[in-house]
Structures are given as C-alpha cells and as structure tokens.
C-alpha cells in the first residue's frame, strides 16, 4: 500500500482554514471516486430509457418480470455484487484516498414500515469496514432524501416534485435520518463527513431556494447534538453549481461542494467557488464530475489539483462504458428489458430471470472490463496523452513562460489564469447534458502556438522517483516550415528535435529524467519557432 496515502488517511478529518487536515494534523487533498448506482440505482447507468430512469421504476419493472419474492433476492444480491471488497481494494491500489457513497433514504427504510432496515445499515457498516482496512475516507451522501430534494429522477422522485421542501413530514424525517447516521458513526474516524443533500433544487424549482439553508441549519443542529467531530459538507442549488444560497457559515468544521459536468475546464468556470473559499476561509470540494472523455478529465482534474480543490470522480462502475474505470458487460437479451420499458413485449419470467442473473454475475469487479486509461487520466499517471491546452494552471513562470512579452492571443492563459485562448479564437466543444452526452471533443484547431523562447509545463505523477528514461511524443506543426522543439523532464538536461515541413506531424524522443517522488513536470519549449503543439504523450 502507498505509504504516503497511509499517512494521509489517519484519524478524523477536519477543516483548517482552506485546508483539510487529518487526525495527525497532516494536510490532505481528497482524491476520490463515487459509488454511483449502488445504493441508488440510476437508469442511465443501466442503459434504460426514461421509463426506467430511477430506482422505483427499475424496481417495478423487475417485480413485474420475476415476481415479488425473486425481486427481493435480486436486490440483496445486487447490493453484494455491485460494490464488494475487491472494488475497494483496487481503488486503494490505484491511489484514491476516498469514496463518496450516494444513499437513497428508501434503502435505509426498506424493512418494516417506519423503521430503519438494519440489514441495509449493515451493508453500509461493511463498506466502512473495508474502507478502514484499505485506508479510504468515506463521504456519506444523502443522494435521495425523503420526498426528494430535486424533483427529478436522480433523487428517486415519486411525482417529479421536490417534496422534501413542500411537506414538513419529509423535512422532519430527513433531520432524524441524519441524527441517526451521526449517532451511529460518531466514533468512526474513517467517515470523512456528512454530505447533507445531493444537488438540491434545479433552477426550475428556484422559488424554494430560500428553504435550503434553514433545512441545512436544522440538520446540522441535530447532528451536533450527538456528533461534534465529523465535517459538514454543503452543496449549492441547481446541480450544486449555484452557491448564492450560502449566506451564513453555519458550522466551524465545514466544506462547500460544487459539481462540474457541462462547462470548460478553465479557472473562469470555477472562479466563483474560489472566491467563496477565500471569503469564508473553508475548503472546497468538486464532489461529482465526470461522464465525459479522457481529454476532458485531463484538463478538469488538473484544474482541481492546481487550485488545491478536493475532488471525487463520477463514477466507478456502469454498464457498457468506456469513460469509467469499470465497465459491466451487457447481458445477452438486455435489449428486451429496454423494449419492455418502452411499451414492447414482456419477456417471459424464465428469460427475464436469466438476463437479470447474467447482469448480477457481470457486476462483480472480477467480471468487469477495467479501463486503466481512465484512472491514469485522473491521476496524471503515464502512459497518458494530454491535449496541449491543458498545461498547468499555476500561472506564468510555473506552468508556462512567454519568451517575448507584449504578445497576446497566442494560446496562453491570462496572468490571472482565467482564460484559455486558441490561435483562431475558437472555444472547445461542450455540447452535453448533466451526466450524459458525447462530451468534450478536441480537434486539430485546438492547439497552442509557441514563439521562440515560449514554454509549457505538463505535470505527471510517476509511480516512483529516481533517474530513468521517459519517452515523450508530441503532435506538432512548424507554420514557417522549420522549428526546433526542446523537451525536458524532471531535473535533467534537454533533448532537441528539429521539426520541418508545414504540416502536422508526430515526433518522439527518449528523455533522461530525474524523477522525484510525486508530481514531476515535463517541459516543452520552442527553441526556435514558431511552433504549434496539439498534444503531448508521456510514457
């Protein structure tokens, strides 16, 4: 196990100004992964249409297909298979130090009416035990509150209304649910904190925004009556992106959370969160983001790291995917379930049972297809190919250098790090919806132009330090027909490559590198320009 991560994951976490520190007073940056669709199944992760877009609709379909008794058995097996000890072990081996656990309140109330389901609480206890063993902090996330906090599929809404904010009974039930969880885990140091509500109130329900902070205050008051050690985590409204509701710092051990799916991975897109961090002097958390492609991950998660923002990737596992670490194989005949949800023919009980049994078998970690390239992108770990525009976000002199002052519009971020500009002033494509879509798409026009003396720094994290060799490959173009590019890695000398011909080409060199443990920068410099750079690959 990584010794540094073992030192970091040690004792109760707490907010200390803008930082998080562990029980030993050591600063830690959370790098985590979400356990989406486990305790709150989401239809898009099952490749289901709207008729199966939330837990209650998926449950109804399975009940109709195989009967009530077999339905109960299906779900208990599902909970055991979807996230098991091998999943947690691999997360730890990959270098993650935390998990975010989305919980549906109905999962906890699944037993006798009006009482908590002790068997399901035991599943949560079991996960926490594995995380304690493998040193992963646990963020408990109320993803589906009583009545629903969003009025959409993601909180298992019954009537597409945010009934949590419309019915006092649901409000009281939510407060008592958090009191119960705080009482249960008050002495459990591996629990990092309590994420009170996932993504409350999309903008079309903004008329209820003024009800969120009063509810947060009531929940915190109930938690603090039984637990004064765990961190409180608050999300903004409108998919956690709108922090205008945060009018009062309601606890001394507090972290604020935003989510990021739609927009460009640049500082401008998160500046309002950085400003609130400075204003309140609290840590901030990108608690959910992903559902995109590897190129976007490289830009977005570099952005968080360079700004000391804690992060959690969404999500660990889903059906037939290429953009999560684990892909569940689609069972033969799965389309028959999809057709049935869309009003088609009902599969026979035996056939439906076989399809669902295959799905449960395929859910196990050892039966999934694993995508290490996704994790490498999140961790900036070779082998990795980085779009040129995603050099670091630390500003001039650290992440880039301009040889000749007074130039602008050449692909460099402004001094304050809030803008990315390209040689032809185009912006990246970002036509996707929350949680879905084709994602960010790089193109040939998306490059950075370097003049003589200009340089860029790309940070990667080798598995270990020492002197070694690193292969660096560049996609480049010499607009004037001739240029020289200089490559350096770590703290050793440079390698120069001549680029000839006014066309895009791929050049490669083996660079001698001194690699200290932890982050290591690879530099690309135009020794003689101009030079256009589209991407850099490091092995």
Report the CATH number at residue 412. 2.60.120.260
- How many helices (H) and strands (E) the chain has is answered by 14, 24
Query: Pick from 457, 461, 390: which is nearest to 422 by CA?
Result: 390
Domain end point (choices 378, 394, 424): 378
- Say yes or no: 299 and 433 in one domain: no
Last residue of a domain, one of 323, 348, 378: 378
pLDDT averaged over every residue in the chain: 90
H/E run at residue 509: strand 505-515
154 lies in the same domain as 187: yes
Both 530 and 430 in one domain: the answer is yes
Higher pLDDT, 109 or 360: 360
Render pLDDT for 90-149 as a digit per residue (tens, 0 to 9).
999 999 999 999 999 999 997 555 689 999 999 999 999 999 999 999 999 999 999 999
Predicted confidence (pLDDT) per residue in 68-96, tens digit: 999 999 999 999 999 999 999 999 999 99
The kind and range of the H/E element at 486 are strand 482-489
Distance CA 27, CA 21 (A): 4
Same domain (yes/no): 150, 293: yes
Residues 100 and 219 in one domain: yes
Give yes or no: residues 13 and 146 share one domain: yes
Same-domain pairing of 142 and 276? yes
CATH number at residue 342: 3.20.20.80
Question: How far is 456 from 402, CA to CA, in rounded Å?
Answer: 9
Other CB atoms within 10 Å distance of the CB of residue 502: 14
The predicted structure's pLDDT at residue 441: 55
pTM over 0.85: yes
- In this predicted structure, the answer to whether residue 410 has a pLDDT above a threshold of 50 is no
| b (16+ CB within 10 A) / e for 361-390 | ebbbbeebeebebbbbbbbbbbebbbbbbb
pLDDT at residue 379 greater than cutoff 50? yes
d(C-alpha 395, C-alpha 219), whole Å: 40
**Residue 501, SS3?**
coil
pLDDT at 219 over 80: yes
Among 388, 410, 313, CA closest to 538: 388
Answer yes or no: do 451 and 504 share one domain: yes
**Residue 441: exposed, middle, or buried by beta-carbon count in 10 A (0-12, 13-18, 19+)?**
middle
For residue 513, the model assigns a pLDDT of 64
Which two tokens mark 501? Answer: 């011909």
Judge if 166 and 130 occupy the same domain.
Answer: yes
Do 386 and 373 reside in the same domain of the chain? no
Per-residue pLDDT at 417: 39
Single residue among 378, 409, 428 that ends a domain in this structure = 378
Which two tokens mark 300? 């977005």
Q: Are residues 497 and 407 in the same domain?
A: yes
Same domain, 296 and 422: no
Structural domain including 448 reads 382-538
For 79-129, what is the HEC assignment?
Answer: HHHHCCHHHHHHHHHHCCCEEEEEEEHHHHCCCCCCCCCHHHHHHHHHHHH
pLDDT in the model for residue 113: 58
Task: Give the total number of structural domains in the chain.
Answer: 2
């Amino acid at each position: 196990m990584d010794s540094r991560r073992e030192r970091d994951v040690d004792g109760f976490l707490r907010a200390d100004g803008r930082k998080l520190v562990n029980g030993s007073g050591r600063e830690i940056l959370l790098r985590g992964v979400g356990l989406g669709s486990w305790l709150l199944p989401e239809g898009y992760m099952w490749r289901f249409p709207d008729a199966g877009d939330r837990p209650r609709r998926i449950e109804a379909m399975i009940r109709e297909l195989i009967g009530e008794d077999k339905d109960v058995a299906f779900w208990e097996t599902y909970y055991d298979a979807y996230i098991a000890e091998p999943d947690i072990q691999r997360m730890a081996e990959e270098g993650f130090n935390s998990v975010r656990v989305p919980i549906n309140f109905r999962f906890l109330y699944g037993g006798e009416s009006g009482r908590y389901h002790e068997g399901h609480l035991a599943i949560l206890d079991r996960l926490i035990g594995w995380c304690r063993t493998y040193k992963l902090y646990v963020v408990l996330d109320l993803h589906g509150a009583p009545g629903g906090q969003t009025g959409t599929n993601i909180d298992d809404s019954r009537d597409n209304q945010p009934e949590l904010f419309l019915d006092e009974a649901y409000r009281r039930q939510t407060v008592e649910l958090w009191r119960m969880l705080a009482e249960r885990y008050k002495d459990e140091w591996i629990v990092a904190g309590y994420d009170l509500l996932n993504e409350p109130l999309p903008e079309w329900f903004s008329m209820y925004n003024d009800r969120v902070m009063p509810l947060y205050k009531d929940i915190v008051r109930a938690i603090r009556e039984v637990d004064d050690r765990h961190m409180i985590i608050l999300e903004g409204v409108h998919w956690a992106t709108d922090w205008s509701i945060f009018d009062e710092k309601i606890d001394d051990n507090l972290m604020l959370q935003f989510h990021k799916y739609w927009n460009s991975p640049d500082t401008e897109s998160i500046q309002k969160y950085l400003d609130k961090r400075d204003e309140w002097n609290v840590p901030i958390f990108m608690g959910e983001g992903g559902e995109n492609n590897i190129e976007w991950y490289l830009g977005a998660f570099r952005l968080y790291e360079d700004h000391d923002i804690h992060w959690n990737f969404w999500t660990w596992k889903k059906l037939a995917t290429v953009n999560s670490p684990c892909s569940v194989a689609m069972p033969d005949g799965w389309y028959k379930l999809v057709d049935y949800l869309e009003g088609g023919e009902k599969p026979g009980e035996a056939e439906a049972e076989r399809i669902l049994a295959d799905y449960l078998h395929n859910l196990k970690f050892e039966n999934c297809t694993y995508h290490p390239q996704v994790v490498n992108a999140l961790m900036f770990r070779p082998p990795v190919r980085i779009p040129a525009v995603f050099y670091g976000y630390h500003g001039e002199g650290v992440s880039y250098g301009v040889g000749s002052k007074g130039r602008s519009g050449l692909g460099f971020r402004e001094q304050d790090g809030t803008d990315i500009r390209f040689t032809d002033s185009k912006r990246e494509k970002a036509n996707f919806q929350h949680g879905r879509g084709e994602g960010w798409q790089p193109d040939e026009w998306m490059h950075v132009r370097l003049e003589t003396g200009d340089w860029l720094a790309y940070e990667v994290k080798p598995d270990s330090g020492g002197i070694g060799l690193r292969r660096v490959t560049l996609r480049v173009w010499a607009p004037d027909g001739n240029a020289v590019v200089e490559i350096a890695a770590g703290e050793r000398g440079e390698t120069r490559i001549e680029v000839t011909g006014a066309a895009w080409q791929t050049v490669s060199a083996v660079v001698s590198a001194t690699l200290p443990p932890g982050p290591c920068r690879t530099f690309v410099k135009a020794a003689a320009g101009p030079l256009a750079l589209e991407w850099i690959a490091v092995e």
